[in-house]
Chain A
Amino acid sequence: MTGVFFETGSLFSGPERDPAGDAGHPDPPERVGFFTDTSVCIGCKACEVACKEWNAIPEDGLSLTGMSYDNTQGLGASTWRHVAFIEQSGPHEVPEEVPDESQPAGDMRWLMSSDVCKHCTHAACLDVCPTGSLFRTEYGTVVVQEDICNGCGYCVPACPYGVIEQRADDGRAFKCTMCYDRLGAGQEPACAKACPTDSIQFGPLDELRERAALRVDQLQEAGVPGARLYGHDPEDGVGGDGAFFLLLDEPEVYGLPPDPVVTTRDLPAMWKHAGAAALSLAAGAAASFVLPAILGRKGRR
């Protein structure tokens, strides 16, 4: 896929080596990210709790959904880590590395996955933000400056993953900051720190991608055919995610879009069509004044 250059010289889509440098950070540190390996997630929700506590996120409902052990339901303004629970029945291949003979291949399995903001290489939320409140940090992550956000809500439908949201009683938009404050102090984000199984791994993105490629090979060799990486590919519609995943089923099973695209990829085409439409409007209006004059003259003849 080829990127489209705008007058800023920045790419709208496609692979991008240095998002932080492109955003104007001189000599930025290595781009960091999350690799969430859902094959070892145990659904403890320690990430959700650690995130809420560290970032002082308000409570956002204590309802029971009745659909699964997932009562959090999804990412939102006050939920920046969300553990999805999927109960699947039916025969599933069980990896050979499971040694326990007393537990033969069962007819159900749990999929658990801790979802988070993807910190896209080409972040639609950031692109469409009219105030400059959303910005690219020196670490290549995407953060909302809450002292600038005026709650226009444009980032909400722009996000192809449904991550960012406005807090109803506050008006402003909120999402995961990848613990920007902790990064500055040389600490890993709270969720990764709290994860007891290293399902959430934090580190330089290039290193995580290498580690993930090895892990997915290992799982596939062990007989887990559904194992696949999601959001790791710099060639994908958002230029690769800063937070990517190892999944055991199709992305949509986890509530993730199968092939997300940054909406601004098509923005040059949209402006072109809007320009043509504006000219058509003007031409139509001109014709509406010229036609009666011509026809009127003919009529009088």
Chain B
Amino acid sequence: MTGTPTRKGERRRKGEELMVPRAEFDSYYGRPVIKAPAWKDRDIAGYFFTGGLAGAGSVLAAGAQLTGRRTMAKTLKVSSLAAVSLSTAALINDLGRPDRFLNMLRVCKPTSPMSVGSWLLAGYGPLAGAAAASAVTGWLPRAGAAATGAAALLGPAVATYTAVLAADTAVPAWHGAHRELPYLFAASATAAASGMALVTSPTSENAPARYAALLAAAADKAAVTAAERRLGMVAETYRSGRAGKLLRCAQALTVAGAATAGLLGRRSRPAAVAGGLALLTGSALTRFGVFHAGLASAEDPKYTVEPQRRGQE
């Protein structure tokens, strides 16, 4: 039991209040209506981040390869491979029965974003691996280029399907923002990948990363604003508590990172690195913030009951 006062108890103690119109909402001793996921934030919010970094990284890597930015292409391919490997490890680690992870590929279900995601990762992972291996060793450059292109095609899906994964639940802060979350995740993934590019590439190559960072920061802000407007009272969970703190820091870091990289990253390598690190951290905090907003919205019954009541009126 939580230590929060039971709304019901408070109301019922005063009998005469029953004669006045029903209070805004009632609950069963303040207990949650839905169950919050038992997912660990390090694994699942962490995966939202690494999956985004990997997916958007593959897209930027392909662009870098096409435009002859060799260092950027190579380092992004390596970071995408590392990120997708970490993602897979985190996802398996979060299972209640990790030894049964292969059951994820037992069926292919479009109604389950997790099934779709498993198949996406099963396709994307080896491609990201081949692209990175070829870039590092210099072997099979044509196959490497093909893998780079294919990974870039799957990358955006890897970066955005995780938003559907979260939204396709009864969790009010996630489901209520199901239209906006994919754009937020796309922006956040781009911020992370551009941050990685800024950290690892020379200033002579980092122009696209700077543009991408600025675009991502603007899109991130727009998506968060739109999501909060849509969510109404549930938006509280994005502004208060742990999630609020995480998202405020995320926003500040993303804006500061994009501004630093955009204004100074062209000439100053240290500024590019600092901006890139801020963007990476901002992206990670965005995912942890969204994750914790979901948990907060699941744990308080008012976020389940009030929007449903309002929808009935």
Stretch from A17-25, A184-192, A250-258 at the B interface: A250-258
Contacts of B3-58 to chain A: CB distance below 8 A: 6, 8-9, 12-13, 15-19, 22, 25-29, 31-39, 55-56
Q: Is the C-beta of A211 less than 8 angstroms from some C-beta in chain B?
A: no
A-contact bits for B163-202, CB 8 A (1 contact / 0 none):
1110111110001001111110110011000100000000
Q: Is the C-beta of A182 less than 8 angstroms from some C-beta in chain B?
A: no
- Chain A interface residue count, CB cutoff 8 Å, equals 87
CB distance from B220 to the nearest CB of A (A): 11
Query: Are A274 and B160 within 8 A (Cβ)?
Result: yes
Q: Is the C-beta of A39 less than 8 angstroms from some C-beta in chain B?
A: no
In this complex, what residue of A is CB-closest to B25?
Answer: A252
Q: Is the C-beta of A41 less than 8 angstroms from some C-beta in chain B?
A: no
Query: Are A277 and B163 within 8 A (Cβ)?
Result: yes
CA distance A286 to B135 in the complex (A): 21
CB distance from B7 to the nearest CB of A (A): 10
Query: Are B26 and A252 within 8 A (Cβ)?
Result: yes
In this complex, what residue of B is CB-closest to A84?
Answer: B28
Stretch from A45-53, A156-164, A213-221 at the B interface: A156-164
- Determine the chain B residues whose CB is within 8 A of the CB of A149 once the complex forms: 96-97, 100
Query: Are B18 and A91 within 8 A (Cβ)?
Result: yes
- Determine the chain B residues whose CB is within 8 A of the CB of A164 once the complex forms: 35
Contact of B169 among A163, A256, A263 (CB under 8 A): A263
- Determine the chain A residues whose CB is within 8 A of the CB of B6 once the complex forms: 67
- Determine the chain A residues whose CB is within 8 A of the CB of B164 once the complex forms: 267, 270-271, 274
Contact of B170 among A250, A256, A263, A296 (CB under 8 A): A263
- Determine the chain A residues whose CB is within 8 A of the CB of B9 once the complex forms: 67
Q: Is the C-beta of A27 less than 8 angstroms from some C-beta in chain B?
A: no
B-contact bits for A237-263, CB 8 A (1 contact / 0 none):
000000000000010111111111101
B-contact bits for A268-297, CB 8 A (1 contact / 0 none):
011101111111111011111101110010
Query: If A152-B114, A270-B178 touch, does A285 touch B190 (CB 8 Å cutoff)?
Result: yes
CA distance A279 to B157 in the complex (A): 9
Q: Is the C-beta of B277 less than 8 angstroms from some C-beta in chain A?
A: no
Query: Are A150 and B111 within 8 A (Cβ)?
Result: no
CA distance A181 to B160 in the complex (A): 41
Query: Are B106 and A148 within 8 A (Cβ)?
Result: yes
Contact of B115 among A6, A12, A130, A266 (CB under 8 A): A130
Q: Is the C-beta of A154 less than 8 angstroms from some C-beta in chain B?
A: yes
Query: Are B207 and A296 within 8 A (Cβ)?
Result: yes
Q: Is the C-beta of A29 less than 8 angstroms from some C-beta in chain B?
A: no
Query: If A277-B183, A285-B60 touch, does A130 touch B104 (CB 8 Å cutoff)?
Result: yes
- Determine the chain A residues whose CB is within 8 A of the CB of B244 once the complex forms: none
- Determine the chain A residues whose CB is within 8 A of the CB of B207 once the complex forms: 292, 296
CB distance from A97 to the nearest CB of B (A): 23
Query: Are B111 and A278 within 8 A (Cβ)?
Result: no
- Determine the chain A residues whose CB is within 8 A of the CB of B104 once the complex forms: 130-131, 150, 152
Question: For the side of the interface on B, what is the size category?
Answer: 35 or more
In this complex, what residue of A is CB-closest to B189?
Answer: A281
Query: Are A73 and B168 within 8 A (Cβ)?
Result: no
Q: Is the C-beta of B159 less than 8 angstroms from some C-beta in chain A?
A: yes
Q: Is the C-beta of B66 less than 8 angstroms from some C-beta in chain A?
A: yes
- Determine the chain B residues whose CB is within 8 A of the CB of A296 once the complex forms: 207
Query: Are B118 and A90 within 8 A (Cβ)?
Result: no
Contact of A288 among B25, B35, B115, B215 (CB under 8 A): B215
Query: Are B34 and A253 within 8 A (Cβ)?
Result: no
Q: Is the C-beta of A132 less than 8 angstroms from some C-beta in chain B?
A: yes
Among A12, A157, A168, A259, which residue has the most Cβ atoms of chain B within 10 A? A157
In this complex, what residue of B is CB-closest to A267?
Answer: B168
Query: Are A284 and B190 within 8 A (Cβ)?
Result: yes
Query: Are A172 and B110 within 8 A (Cβ)?
Result: no
- Determine the chain B residues whose CB is within 8 A of the CB of A284 once the complex forms: 186, 190, 212, 215-216, 219
Q: Is the C-beta of A128 less than 8 angstroms from some C-beta in chain B?
A: yes
CA distance A241 to B207 in the complex (A): 56
Query: Are B95 and A152 within 8 A (Cβ)?
Result: yes
Query: Are B31 and A128 within 8 A (Cβ)?
Result: no
CB distance from A236 to the nearest CB of B (A): 11
Query: Are A280 and B183 within 8 A (Cβ)?
Result: yes
B-contact bits for A1-41, CB 8 A (1 contact / 0 none):
00000111000100000000000000000000000000000
In this complex, what residue of A is CB-closest to B163?
Answer: A274
Query: Are A171 and B27 within 8 A (Cβ)?
Result: no
Contact of B28 among A127, A158, A253 (CB under 8 A): A253
Query: Are A165 and B159 within 8 A (Cβ)?
Result: no
Query: Are B34 and A162 within 8 A (Cβ)?
Result: yes
Query: If A127-B111, A267-B168 touch, does A257 touch B34 (CB 8 Å cutoff)?
Result: yes
- Determine the chain B residues whose CB is within 8 A of the CB of A269 once the complex forms: 178-179
In this complex, what residue of B is CB-closest to A134?
Answer: B112
Interface residue ranges, A against B (CB under 8 Å):
6-8, 12, 65, 67-68, 73-74, 76, 84, 86-91, 107, 124, 127-133, 148-154, 156-166, 168, 170-173, 250, 252-261, 263-264, 266-267, 269-271, 273-282, 284-289, 291-293, 296
Can you add 15 more A-B contacts, CB < 8 Å, to A267-B111, A273-B179, A281-B55? A65-B1, A90-B16, A127-B112, A130-B112, A132-B106, A151-B100, A252-B25, A254-B28, A259-B308, A266-B167, A269-B179, A270-B167, A276-B183, A277-B156, A277-B163
Q: Which 6 A-B pairs have the closest CB atoms?
A: A151-B96, A171-B96, A255-B28, A278-B156, A90-B18, A150-B100
A-B contact pairs, 9 of them (CB 8 A): A132-B109, A149-B100, A255-B27, A255-B28, A255-B33, A257-B305, A260-B308, A281-B59, A284-B216
